[in-house]
Amino acid sequence: MGENLRRVRRITQMRFGASEPVDTYAQTYARLDAAIASTAARQDILRSQVRAAWEVMRHYSAVTRSYGTRLKALEAVIADEQLAGGQTVDLATTARRMHELAARIEATARHHFEVVRAKESRVEELMQKLTSSKSQLKLAQTAEDHQNRLRALEAAGEQDPLVLGRNRSDHELRDAARLAREAEALAGLKGGWS
């Protein structure tokens, strides 16, 4: 797979000229940073919307309770028949309508709060995925950097005069040189060398 990719790159470079090497990590970092900034701005807006929707819902819950209390008090007065018949029906009808209207508005406010809260949750989830992707990209870049360093050490070891001057059948020396390169590469992977 890797050889095919290199062959395609060589053919493309021969046909279209050598192109500047593209730093895909930097471009991806830039896109991730832009997405994170945009998502953070959206989070701030949604936090404000959630707070406002919460306050509206709380207000209409209190209004509904208040109309419910008034309706119960009116029904208690009607039960005692302290008001004239026509006046009683008008007040009871008005009180029920006001309570029902307040309950519908409260339900609408509650639904709006839940919708805005769900949006905020999705944006928080997106932010977590973006930051996780950025961390994974950093790890991938670090791993690639260390692989490149390992390849450079292997190439340097193959050109080392100490190794080249010896007899190729000297397995012990070649193994020692290989182990030294691997140890240096491992130290680089673990962050011991920079």
* % residues pLDDT > 70 (the chain): 69
Residue with tokens 């870049």: 141
At 182 the pLDDT is: 74
pLDDT above 90 (res 14): no
As separate numbers, helices (DSSP H) first and strands (DSSP E) second, the chain gives 5, 0
Q: How confident is the model at residue 26 (pLDDT cuts 50, 70, 90)?
A: confident
**Which SS3 state, helix, strand or coil, does residue 191 take?**
coil
At 153 the pLDDT is: 75
Give 146-173 pLDDT, tens digit per residue: 888 877 777 776 666 655 555 555 666 6
Give 92-150 pLDDT, tens digit per residue: 888 899 999 999 999 999 999 999 999 999 999 999 999 998 888 888 888 888 888 87
CA torsion angle for 30, 36, 40, 43 (degrees, to 10)?
Answer: 150
Crossing angle for the helix pair 171-189 and 85-158, to the nearest 10 degrees? 150
- pTM for the model stands at 0.60
Alpha-carbon span 98 to 87, nearest angstrom: 16
> Which is nearest to 56 in space by CA: 121, 122, 118, 116?
116
Residue with tokens 């290199």: 6
Tokens of 49: 């919307």
At 193 the pLDDT is: 46
Tokens of 162: 């100490």
Give 56-89 pLDDT, tens digit per residue: 999 999 999 999 999 898 888 777 776 555 666 6
Average pLDDT, rounded, for the chain: 80
